[in-house]
Amino acid sequence: MKNLIKIKGDASFRKFFRKRNNKNSSILVFAKKEKFKNLLVYDAINKILNKNKILAPMLYNENYNKNFIEIQDFGNETIFKRLNKTKTNKITYFKKIIILLNRIQLIKNRKIKNFKNKNYIIPKYDKKILIKEANLFCGWYAKKYLSKKNIKKFSRKFKLIVKNLSSHLELKNNYFVHRDFHVSNLMLVNSQIGLIDSQDALIGNRAYDLASLIDDVRFKTSKSLKNKIFNLYVNKQKKLNLYKFKHDFEILSVLRNLKIIGIFTRLAFRDGKKNYLRLIPYAWNLINMRINENEIFHDLKDLLNQNFKNKLNEN
């Protein structure tokens, strides 16, 4: 079709096209693989967000049989792009993002009718999922870079450490968690911030989305700015056990970035998306920073130093 322009995709199996019609535009999202999650669930989560006055793309049309939905176009200006402009006051934007995160975490309704008129209930982000995700590091990255002899021993120790770390999480799984809450998924829509890529949302630990935002592999920030953003969040909370929250924040940041290294390796070598490899050194940098801040990471630090010392200390 002449009025369809292909636009840059993401790490999912979806393809995106901008549809222009006179002065109006919309986005067509195509997904043959993981269609239920990428089309039906994506729209269901967006409906929940919109119901709670969080700006997310509205559904215009759907043709599930032909593997696509048509949704609201938020344009091209991500917060990531804006923050990369030299004169941008970063903390001003992060203040607005923290306000948005607080509003997201107030969401109580977790059930919605999807466009097939079936109930969708947001699942829990339980420890099984968290452990399975972190273990992607073994299945893809470690498997690629360690010898067959070493991988078995490493995997056994790594999986025990991950299980142990997840068992030390203190906070309840009772908050809406976007799971990819970072500046590339936040759009500037007029004077508001719109949220995209929400199909993986679960009900989980309130520290998770803050860890995604602060320890974002795509956007390098100083330790000083990371601390300022962390404090922006905690200073807005009335009833928060700071010790427990910081403890969970650090564990979730490390587990998330181990998962990301696994996923980016899979994207590169299974799906041919080699551009994700360039983000892995900063993920190592973030892991290294966090495992040096808390004694709970002692065993993980030892294991990674024994097997990936050059990667862990990479700048």
Greatest alpha-carbon span in the chain:
62
pLDDT digits (tens, 9 = 90+) for 98-127: 999 999 999 998 999 999 999 999 999 999
Residues of the chain with confidence (pLDDT) below 70: 1-2, 9-11, 314-315
Q: What is the pLDDT of residue 11?
A: 64
Q: What DSSP line would sit under 2-25, residue for residue?
A: TTEEEE---SSS-EEEEEEETTEE
Does 38 map to a domain?
no
pLDDT for position 12: 74
Residue 52 domain-assigned (yes or no): no
For residue 152 the two structure tokens come to 């078995």
Which residue pairs, CB below 8 angstroms and at least 24 apart, start in 305-310? 307/142, 307/146, 307/150, 307/154, 308/145, 308/284
Residue 304 maps to a domain? yes
Could you tell me the CATH number of the domain that includes residue 302? 3.90.1200.10
Q: Could you tell me the residue range of the domain that residue 181 belongs to? A: 75-110+122-312
Contact in structure between 101 and 205 (CB atoms under 8 Å): no
Whole-number pLDDT of residue 42: 96
**What distance in Å separates the CA atoms of residue 238 and residue 287, rounded to the nearest whole number?**
29
Question: Does a structural domain hold residue 53?
Answer: no
* CB-based contact 160:113 (threshold 8 Å): no
Q: Is residue 36 included in any domain, yes or no?
A: no
115 found inside a domain: no
Q: Give the pLDDT score at 315.
A: 55
pTM score, whole prediction:
0.95
Number of domains making up the chain = 1
> Could you tell me if residue 218 is inside a domain?
yes
Q: CA-to-CA distance for 313 and 315, rounded, in angstroms?
A: 6
Task: Please indicate, yes or no, if residue 179 is contained in any of the structural domains.
Answer: yes
Residue 30 and residue 15 in contact, taking contact as beta carbons nearer than 8 Å: yes
pLDDT at 71: 97
Helix, strand, coil fractions of the chain, as percent rounded to 5? 50, 15, 30
**Sequence-ordered list of residues with C-beta below 8 angstroms from that of 260, at least 6 positions apart, any chain:** 217, 279, 283
